Structure 1
Amino acid sequence: MSLYEKTVKLSKLIVRAKAIYEAHRESKEEADFFGTVKPFADEVDAAADLWEQEALLFLQEHPQKYVHAAQIVQAADNARRVGAYAHFFDTGKAKFIQSADSALYVLESLDNCIKE
Structure 2
Amino acid sequence: MSLGDQTVKLQELIQQAKAIFEAGRQTKEPADFFKTVKPFADEVDAAADAWEQAALSYLKEHPQKYVHAAQIIQAADNARRVGAHAHFFDTGKAKFIQSADSALYVLESLYHNLEK
In structure 1, the residue matched to 2:28 is 28
Task: State the partner residue of 1:69.
Answer: 69
Match of 2:107 in 1: 107
2:38 counterpart residue number: 38
Q: Distance in 2 between matches of 1:56 and 1:115?
A: 17
Quick one: distance in 2 between partners of 1:74 and 1:64?
Answer: 16
TM-score (norm 1): 1.00
Give the Å deviation of 1:88.
0.4
Give per-residue Cα distances to partners, 1:64-96, cap 9 Å, x unaligned.
Answer: 000000000000000000000000010000000
Which consecutive segments of 4 or more residues in structure 1 shift more than 3 A?
Answer: none
Shift of 1:51: 0.1
- The two structures, once aligned, show a CA RMSD in angstroms of 0.2
Identify the residue that residue 53 of structure 1 maps to in structure 2: 53
Match for residue 19 of structure 1?
Answer: 19
CA positional deviation for 1:31:
0.4
Unaligned runs of 5+ in 1: none
Gapped runs of 5+ residues in structure 2? none
Q: Deviations over 1:30-88 (max 9, x none)?
A: 00000000000000000000000000000000000000000000000000000000000
Percent identity of paired positions between Structure 1 and Structure 2: 78
Q: How many angstroms apart in 2 are the aligned matches of 1:47 and 1:92?
A: 24
Name the SS for the 1:31 alignment partner. coil
Equivalent-residue separation in structure 2 for 1:5 and 1:78 (angstroms): 19
